[in-house]
Chain A
Amino acid sequence: MLRTALRNVLAHKARLIMTVLAVMLGVAFVAGTLVFGDTTANAFRTATGTSLKGVAVSVQSQQSQEPPGAAAAGGPDGKPSSTLNTALAHKIRALPGVAAVRPTVIGEVTVAGKDGLPVNTDKARQHLATNYLPGKDSRISLKEGRGPASEGELALDAKTAEKAGYRIGDTVRFAIDGPALAKKLVGTVSTDDPRVNAGGTLTLFDTRTAQKLFLHPGQFHEIAVAAKDGTDHRELTDRVRALLPDKGAKATRGEDLAAEQADQIVEGTGALTKALLGFAGIALFIGAFIIANTFTMLIAQRSREIALVRAVGASRRQVVRSVLIEAALLGLGASATGFVLGIGIAVAMRPLLNASGAGLPDGPLVISSGTLVWSLVVGVLITVLAAWLPSRKAAKIAPVTALSSVDQAPPARALVVRNVLGALLTGAGVLVMVYVSTLTTTAKSNLMTAMLGGVLTLVGVIVLAPLLSRPLITLAGQATTRLFGVTGKLAKENALRNPRRTAATASALMIGLALVTGLTVVGHSAERALVADATQGLSADYKVSNGSLSGTGLDVGAAAKIARVPGVATAVPTTTAGFDTKGGFAQITGTDPKAFGKAARLDFRAGSLRDIGPGKIAVSDELADKGGLKVGSTLNAGTTTGRAEKERKVKLKVVAVYAKTPTMEDALGTLADVLPYSDNKKLEEVLVKAEPGQAAGLERKIRAALGDSPLMEVQSHEQAINDGGRAINLVLKMMYGLLGMALLISVLGVVNTLAMSVFERTREIGMLRAIGLDRSGIKQMVRLESVVISMFGAALGIGTGIFLAWAGSGMASSTMDAYETVLPWGQLVILLALALAIGVLAAIWPARRAARLNMLQSIQSS
């Protein structure tokens, strides 16, 4: 049996090539993901190992875990305080077994380039700062110049210095959380910190300066302790712990910290690996359709041969086994090749992900035997499983078939069972998804329900596809017949000839397109929602805010400073504060009501902006509904915002009601009423309206007016729109790339089906040529069949994708207020065109083969 199977595989090399490719790509995806995951995890472990090398005990200030300036309890100057100080460092140094201590200060610094704009505007990247410890810090090595030694000096990592255009001796402008500062660049350093290598910045000060900037003199965020050889780290940790104050500091053994960090990181990469494996699974699932199609066709072609084997005494089971062995051999060969290809994918993945800011460390390729085993097992298993149904068909071939002189296609089995099953599955899926569309939270159970509904719907449509193929392909065929005449008609008839095969081919395409469509619709809708969130209701040309992560805001005087910039018509100060009201949590925006109308548009239902004054506010229609408010009523608001203050009650009179916008959700009052309750008592944003025709180029002037701090974010209206879309676009692009693999495999499926069909219809093609269809006519016939099948797949996929995206809109709107399903017609048309192109491309090779068939041999072959 093995020999027969092997011979069969070899005999059908050409016909199996697409199937091999499909399995190979799927396995390559799996192997690539696994190798990539192992490699990345290993590299991260090594990186954490390196950064904690020689650290026996790490003492960390627990307040300094949070970014400076946030909720940490600060001293009178607003800066956070740490319990780790020089005295403690000395005490630890004096402990027996301690070789050295390395006290560090950690902070964030936004570096401005030579042009005054921040070097690093990507919020995903980090702006690190620390104290430079000559000779003590193995993680940082000097590249050029010298380390900072006095208050007026700093060092930068070499990449940042280059990007910003600074040379040694230049004055570097930067900001921490307030106004711009300047110090002289005395050196550049290199580091293997992955956060910096991923595009972050690293700024170094001498210890005294760092303490002044981020803490208080003599204080540290962390003390790393190195031990003498032969010292027990656990005991040392206990000894260090005994020295620490009761609160605000924690000592951890270096090894434990490294393991903890590595676990966190590996968990992170594990999630990425899982997501990638999900896509690999989709690719393999699509590949399964191709495998099943191929084996069904091979068995149909070989039915007489199989009947002969049966006639000479092979049992059904032997026939099944022979087919399955054939599949296993095929799967093994394809998986082995796929595994090798996968290693290549893994190598390419790191630079690709790093280009989009993932910051993965460098490291040797890790190929575990587990990866090899898994790749082969998955590849062989999927091939054998996909070939299982066709093998059962092979077993049903009666021995007498060998004796009949005419070869007749086996009668098409009725599709009744399949249709009923399909209808049930689709119905269940649609019901679940309709239920999902009423859900309004993204709780895990809801996500699981949505996943279940999505899978049910997709599988249901796949099962129903043969039934749907008749009406849909007839429809498409009418178009091709009208446009291309007889070749169009023949193409339609050929596509209808074997509904199962057509359906399986189209299904492979459908899965990919359904996912792409769903993604496109959700992405487009989310982008619109984000843009609306950022801009709807605003007519300002610029929005000025403090871009630091700690969000310290702008000084109250900022609006007045901006207003004096030539070309600025109005600068409207705004701030917000949260209040508990009868209608739930409400955010009240404080502003200058007189100027506000020039930078924002609000649609008033009752009253107007002019009615707002001290103690008098406007509320959104939504808050009015929820809180039972109307003009004349009083809003009782409680607040705990503001530092360490207990709840206070405020009574505000409602004087106007406006239609809610994403930028102005709950209520609007005067600056004086809201400011006392806001964070830090600072402005959140200044909305700037330019004089007519003066909007361009105002950014530089506004920055200058505010002291040119690189922390300042001056966002134009266009930028706000772009920023809304950018985050989503990045995610979309990656997902498109991954689904592209699925689409590629489905294209192979179309090629496979067509090639097999051409092979099966050799005599027909010969006859058509004889009675006068020329080569280009034959080509067109094959091409149109391909297009018709692809369009069928596209119709199913795009339709299903839109439905699934619609059903998820309720859940999406729970995280994005302005979310509603908006169909991106342009992109949907592009997808349809893509399917058309897939059809045409997939037909190139089979059509050429069909046209080149030798007519006489074709007619005479039997």
Chain B
Amino acid sequence: MSQSATQTTRLRAPSGAAARAMGLTKVYGEGQTRVVALDSVCVEFGRGRFTAIMGPSGSGKSTLMHCMAGLDSLSEGSAHVGDTELSSLGDRQLTKLRREKIGFVFQAFNLLPTLSAIENITLPMDIAGRKPDQEWLKLTVGTLGLSGRLRHRPSQLSGGQQQRVAVARALAGRPEIIFADEPTGNLDSHSGAEVLGFLQESVRGLGQTVVMVTHDPVAASYADRVIFLADGRLTDELAAPTPESVLDRMRILDTNGPVR
């Protein structure tokens, strides 16, 4: 496992980053309605690391994730997933990139109600026309505690279980990087903790790379590193966070206001 991870690392970008952005700028609208959502952001998401993006609403944290994940286009700068540069890709290539190299967990509405849990998990691979790696699938499903629920439809699962299925789907294709957008936003604290635990486990135990957008300091504390965004700029970062240290940092940001 670690053997192959080192091998791929050596073959890929020397930075050791699963994804990185250079001078990433995103502007919406024109003239009077012009809004700069991201203002030359430079950031790297380390391979095999769990990174949380935090910031108040409107800070651009979701936009950053969308741009890095190939869901939204860049206005300026560059973004890489692995060694693929995103700004030059068309819709078709971005789609291909998403299904081959990226996993997603959204806040809600992650699953197709018509498909069973296992069908939802293998959906990206079915779309790509790939056969899932059965051992890896078993491992993820087992790790997420879903073995007994694979034939259930989403409507027969609890909210926490649905998000675990979403995490399993993101993991199943062994993507370069997993983006999670407020994955616990709709869950009670117990289910939320469970899902975050699994995300953490998928990084520590399975060697995956996870980037999570959240506004919850407790959720952020599960990450290895937290970066803070305000008014479209990277303002701060924190390694080995705890809920308290994240909260402290946020308080400082709040009182000082965004750095201009």
Binding site for B on A (CB under 8 A): 408-409, 485-486, 489-490, 493-494, 496-497, 763-764, 767-775, 777, 855-856, 859, 862
The answer to whether B91 and A775 touch across the interface, beta carbons within 8 angstroms, is: yes
User: What is B's interface to A at a CB cutoff of 8 Å?
Assistant: 66, 69, 71-72, 91-92, 95-96, 98-100, 104, 106, 108-110, 112-115, 123-124, 126-129, 155, 169
Please measure, in the bound complex, the distance between the C-alpha atom of A764 and the C-alpha atom of B115, giving whole angstroms: 12
**3 closest residue pairs by CB, A with B:** A772-B99, A493-B114, A486-B126
Distance in Å from the Cβ of B123 to the closest Cβ of chain A? 7
Asked if B96 and A772 make an inter-chain contact with CB atoms under 8 angstroms apart, the answer reads yes
Give Cα distance in the complex from A87 to B123, angstroms.
101
CB-CB under 8 A from B128, the residues of chain A are 772
A-B contact pairs, 25 of them (CB 8 A): A486-B127, A489-B126, A493-B115, A763-B109, A764-B112, A767-B106, A767-B110, A768-B112, A768-B123, A771-B98, A771-B99, A771-B123, A771-B124, A771-B169, A772-B95, A772-B96, A772-B100, A773-B127, A774-B96, A775-B91, A775-B92, A775-B95, A855-B71, A859-B71, A859-B106
A176 nearest CB across to chain B (Å): 77
Q: Do A774 and B92 have beta carbons less than 8 Å apart? A: yes
| A773 (CB) vs chain B CBs: closest residue | B127
Contact (Cβ within 8 A) B129 A769: no
Q: How far is the CA of A494 from the CA of B115 in the complex (A)?
A: 10
Given A485-B129, A767-B106, A859-B106: A772 in contact with B112 (beta carbons within 8 A) = no
Most buried by B among A409, A496, A767, A862: A767
Known: A772-B98, A859-B106, A859-B109. A777 touches B71 (CB 8 A): no
Number of A-B contacts (CB under 8 A): 72
Chain B residue numbers with a CB within 8 Å of A493 are 112, 114-115
Chain B residues, Cβ within 8 Å of A771? 98-99, 104, 123-124, 127, 169
- A241 and B227 alpha carbons, distance in the complex (Å): 115
Are B126 and A485 in contact (CB-based, < 8 A)? yes
Q: Which of A408, A486, A773, A862 contacts B95 (CB 8 A)?
A: A773
Shortest CB-to-CB span from B153 to chain A, Å, is: 10
Complex contact A770–B114 (CB within 8 A)? no
Q: Is the CB of B127 within 8 A of A777?
A: yes
Residues of chain A within 8 A of B169, CB atoms compared: 771
A770 with B104, Cβ < 8 A, contacts A486-B123, A777-B127 known: yes
Among B100, B115, B126, B129: residue with most chain A CB under 10 A: B126
**Helix, strand, loop or mixed for chain A's interface?**
helix
Contact of B71 among A490, A496, A770 (CB under 8 A): A770
Chain A residues near B98: list those with CB within 8 A: 770-772
Which of these, B96, B112, B129, B155, contacts A490 with CB under 8 Å? B112
Give the distance in Å from the alpha carbon of A485 to the alpha carbon of B92 in the complex.
19
Find chain A residues with CB under 8 A from B95 CB. 769, 772-775
Q: Identify which of A409, A489, A856 contacts B72 (C-beta below 8 A).
A: A856
B114 touches A496 (CB 8 A): yes
Instruction: For B112, give the chain A residue with the smallest CB separation.
Output: A764
In the complex, A486→B123 CA distance in Å? 8
* Docked CA distance A493–B127 (Å): 15
**Neighbouring A residues of B72 by C-beta, 8 Å:** 856
Within the assembled complex, what's the spacing in Å between the Cα atoms of A485 and B115? Answer: 14
CB distance from B129 to the nearest CB of A (A): 6
**B residues in contact with A773, CB < 8 Å:** 95, 99, 127
Task: Check if A494 sits within 8 Å of B114, measured CB to CB.
Answer: yes
Give the Cβ gap from B26 to chain A, nearest Cβ, in Å.
Answer: 12
CA distance A589 to B90 in the complex (A): 83
A142 to B69, CA, bound (A): 87
Q: CA–CA, A485 to B123, complex, Å?
A: 11
A485 to B125, CA, bound (A): 11
Residues in chain A near residue B155, CB distance under 8 A: 408
- CB-CB under 8 A from A770, the residues of chain B are 69, 71, 98, 104, 106
Which residues of the other chain, A, contact B113 by a CB distance below 8 angstroms? 409, 497, 764
List residues of chain A with CB within 8 A of the CB of B100: 772
Q: How far is the CB of A620 from chain B (nearest CB, A)?
A: 64
Q: What 6 additional pairs, Cβ within 8 angstroms, besides A768-B127, A859-B106? A: A497-B114, A770-B106, A772-B124, A772-B127, A773-B127, A774-B95
Q: What residues on B are CB-neighbors of A772 within 8 Å?
A: 95-96, 98-100, 124, 127-128
A795 CB → nearest B CB, Å = 22
CA distance A71 to B138 in the complex (A): 95
- Determine how close the nearest CB of chain A comes to the CB of B213; give it in whole angstroms: 12
Known contacts A490-B112, A497-B114; is-contact A856 B127 (Cβ 8 Å): no
Q: How far, in angstroms, from A767 to B71 measured CA to CA in the complex?
A: 11
Compute how far the CA of A773 lies from the CA of B112 in the bound complex, rounded to whole angstroms.
13
Within the assembled complex, what's the spacing in Å between the Cα atoms of A302 and B107?
A: 23
**Nearest A residue (CB) for B110:** A767
Closest to A489 in B: B126
Residues on A with beta carbons closer than 8 Å to the beta carbon of B115 = 490, 493
Q: In the bound complex, what is the Cα–Cα distance between A489 and B128 (angstroms)?
A: 14
Bound-state CA distance A764–B110 (Å) is 8
A485 neighbours in B (Cβ, 8 Å): 126, 129
Query: Complex formed: what's the CA distance from A284 to B169 in Å?
Result: 47
The residue of chain A having its C-beta at the shortest distance from the C-beta of B91 within the complex is A775
- The docked-state distance in angstroms from the alpha carbon of A565 to that of B128 is 78
CA of A490 to CA of B109, assembled, Å: 16
Q: Write the nearest CB–CB distance from B40 to chain A, whole angstroms.
A: 21
Distance of A683 from chain B, by nearest CB (Å): 75
Least CB distance, B86 to chain A, in whole angstroms: 14
Chain A residues positioned under 8 Å from B69 (CB to CB): 770
- How long is the Cα–Cα vector from A826 to B3 in the complex, in angstroms? 64
Is B109 a contact of A764 with CB atoms below 8 Å?
Answer: yes
Q: How far is the CB of B106 from chain A (nearest CB, A)?
A: 6
Bound-complex Cα distance A490 to B69 (A): 25
Closest residue of chain A to B129, judged by CB? A485
Contacts of B123 in A (CB 8 A): 486, 768, 771
Most buried by A among B95, B96, B110, B128: B95
In the assembled complex, which residues on chain A have CB atoms less than 8 Å from the CB atom of B127? 486, 768, 771-773, 777
The residue in chain A whose Cβ has the minimal distance to the Cβ of B94 is A774
Give Cα A772 to B112, complex, Å.
14
Kindly state the separation between the CA atoms of A758 and B126 in the bound complex, as whole angstroms. Answer: 21
Docked complex Cα distance between A763 and B72 (Å): 16
A769 to B127, CA, bound (A): 10
Q: How far is the CA of A855 from the CA of B96 in the complex (A)?
A: 15
Residues of B contacting A855 with CB < 8 Å? 71
A505 to chain B minimum Cβ distance, whole angstroms, is: 17
Distance (whole angstroms) from the CB of A493 to the closest CB of chain B: 4
- Please tell me if the beta carbons of B71 and A856 are within 8 angstroms of each other in the complex: yes
Q: Which residues does chain B contribute within 8 Å of A777, judged by CB atoms?
A: 127
A490: which B residues are within 8 A, CB to CB?
112, 114-115
Kindly list chain A residues whose C-beta atoms are within 8 Å of the C-beta of B91. 774-775
Min CB gap B102→A, angstroms: 8
In the bound complex, how far is the Cα of B99 from the Cα of A198, in angstroms? 68
In the bound complex, how far is the Cα of B134 from the Cα of A588, in angstroms? 84
Q: How far is the CA of A409 from the CA of B114 in the complex (A)?
A: 12
> Which of A768, A769, A770, A771 is packed against the most chain B CB atoms within 10 Å?
A771
> Which of chain B's residues have a CB closer than 8 A to the CB of A489?
126
CB closest residue in chain A, given B97: A772
A273 to B212, CA, bound (A): 70
In the assembled complex, the CB of B16 is this many whole angstroms from the nearest CB of chain A, namely 26
Chain B residue contacts of A494, Cβ below 8 A? 114
Whole-angstrom distance between the alpha carbons of A763 and B154 in the complex?
15
Which residues of B sit under 8 angstroms from A486, Cβ to Cβ? Answer: 123, 126-127, 129
Q: Distance in Å from the Cβ of A405 to the closest Cβ of chain B?
A: 8
Minimum CB–CB distance from A494 to chain B (whole Å) comes to 6
For residue A766, which residue of chain B has the nearest CB?
B109
Instruction: Kindly state the separation between the CA atoms of A773 and B104 in the bound complex, as whole angstroms.
Output: 13
Assess whether A856 is in contact with B66, with CB atoms less than 8 Å apart: yes
Which B residues touch A497, using CB under 8 A?
113-114
- Shortest CB-to-CB span from A299 to chain B, Å, is 19
Residues of B within 8 A of A862 (CB): 108-109
Q: How far is the CA of A720 from the CA of B140 in the complex (A)?
A: 76
Complexed CA–CA distance, A197 and B155 (Å): 70
Q: How far is it, in angstroms, between the C-alpha of A535 and the C-alpha of B128 when the chains are bound?
A: 62
